[in-house]
Amino acid sequence: MRSPLDSPFSPGSDTVPQVWAGRTSQLGDWRDVLRPRRVAGIHERGRTVLGEAGSGKSSLVRRIAREARETGDWVTPQLRIPSGTDPLKRVASALLDLSSQAGLAAARERRIADLLSRVETVAASGVSLSVRAQDGPEPYTALTDLLVEIGRAAIRHRDVMVVVHVDEVQNITDEHARSQLLTALGDALTYEETVSVPGGWQVERGLPMAVYLTGLAEFADMAGARTGATFARRFRTTTLDAIDDDALMAALQPFVTEGWPLASGRGGTERVYMEPAAQRAVVELACGEPFLFQLAGERAWYAGTDNLITAGHVRAGWRDAAPEAEAHVRRILDRLPERERHFIETMAGLTPQERSLTTIARAMGYRRTTDAGPTAQRLDLTRGIIRRGRHYRFHHRAIEAYLTSQWPW
């Protein structure tokens, strides 16, 4: 009955999973705060969503973008920035597409035609334009101006948002390109348009525009290194946490209570169920990680062909998934600077009751506790791997399980 062709689980694909778990606060922020405020012309910062690999940041914003598109908003695709490429080219091309959707390409104003021509040049040459000595504005001003025109068109359409999603932002290592891109996006977010309101008054309002940046945790350091307070004023940064077990259980509850619907070959609907023991087993193996949750569910689905997923199917599927789960955690550890990895490995070697900063610092060989403080702060605030307190604890449960137990085997 069930086969790989109809699995609702999708690990590591950057798509919006059919079996969605958690992230209610981020989805609520879009639905209840960001969109309503920006549509009303009230200023609201852009959103930077960071996290370790597998935390589901791209899938989260793709879901937000899908919801926006379904309500009629103008949305760019996921603008993934490969390492070593010029981000202004990628964004400029996407904005030209949005301008067509906004009807700017058909505008008869010479000013709009000149602006589109400038952005087409940026799409072809990117930030290199600003390196050469030449007359005229730098590339970022063309992007800002086009974003403003698209935002003005959205105001005229009423209840339409412009949504821009730039992904893998940690790959923008060129300081000049990063500065120009963040400035263009930030200037558009803070731009104020004068509009007339009933009664003949004129007021200033923001553009109905949202910008999402997604990437690895180190982008926070990269963006703040030179722009500092300016970036913080224009973008609010969230580092994604692990998903709690209750949310993962809730995501699987439809399998237990009503079955997951599949189209049958006879034109009807069949259902795949999951026994409660299998539900608990998937959640325990996932350790709060969206990627591991999807991986465990997918392999359990593949482990049989009947209409009931059992705990035995979960265990059998996980035997095949364990090497991939281990490689996933090791990739996160291998990316850490030596000092940060030493800290968490030392912390893992202590019992939970021993995990104070003083004990960890002493075990790392430091003479002063304060020598370990900045490392602990980065692992907490920037990476979200640990949580500080009187006793430190792991927040990335898969890393803790890998370093302190036989998981994933």
| CA–CA gap between residue 30 and residue 28 (Å, rounded) | 5
pLDDT surpasses 80 at 18:
yes
Average pLDDT for 128-133: 49
The set of residues, in sequence order, having a beta carbon less than 8 Å from that of 256 and lying 6+ positions away, is 273, 274, 275, 276, 279
Give the ranges where 84-138 is alpha helix by DSSP (H).
87-101, 110-125, 128-131
* pLDDT score at 135: 53
DSSP 8-state secondary structure symbol assigned to residue 5: G
Task: Give the sign of the dihedral formed by CA 6, CA 12, CA 18, CA 19.
Answer: positive
Residue 373 has which token pair? 């403080």
As a 3-state breakdown, the chain gives helix, strand, coil percent values, each rounded to 5, of 55, 15, 30
The percentage of residues in the chain with a pLDDT greater than 70, rounded to a whole number, is 94
Q: Which position has the token pair 């990269």?
A: 222
Confidence band of 127 (pLDDT split at 50, 70, 90):
low
| CA–CA gap between residue 102 and residue 146 (Å, rounded) | 11
Give the number of other CB atoms < 10 A from CB of residue 356. Answer: 16
pLDDT surpasses 80 at 145:
yes
Q: Over the stretch 56-92, which tens digit does the pLDDT of each residue have? A: 999 999 999 999 999 999 999 999 999 988 899 899 8
Confidence band of 263 (pLDDT split at 50, 70, 90):
confident
Q: Which position has the token pair 């900045």?
A: 374
Average pLDDT taken over every residue of the chain: 90
Q: What is the CA radius of gyration of the chain?
A: 24
* pLDDT score at 106: 67
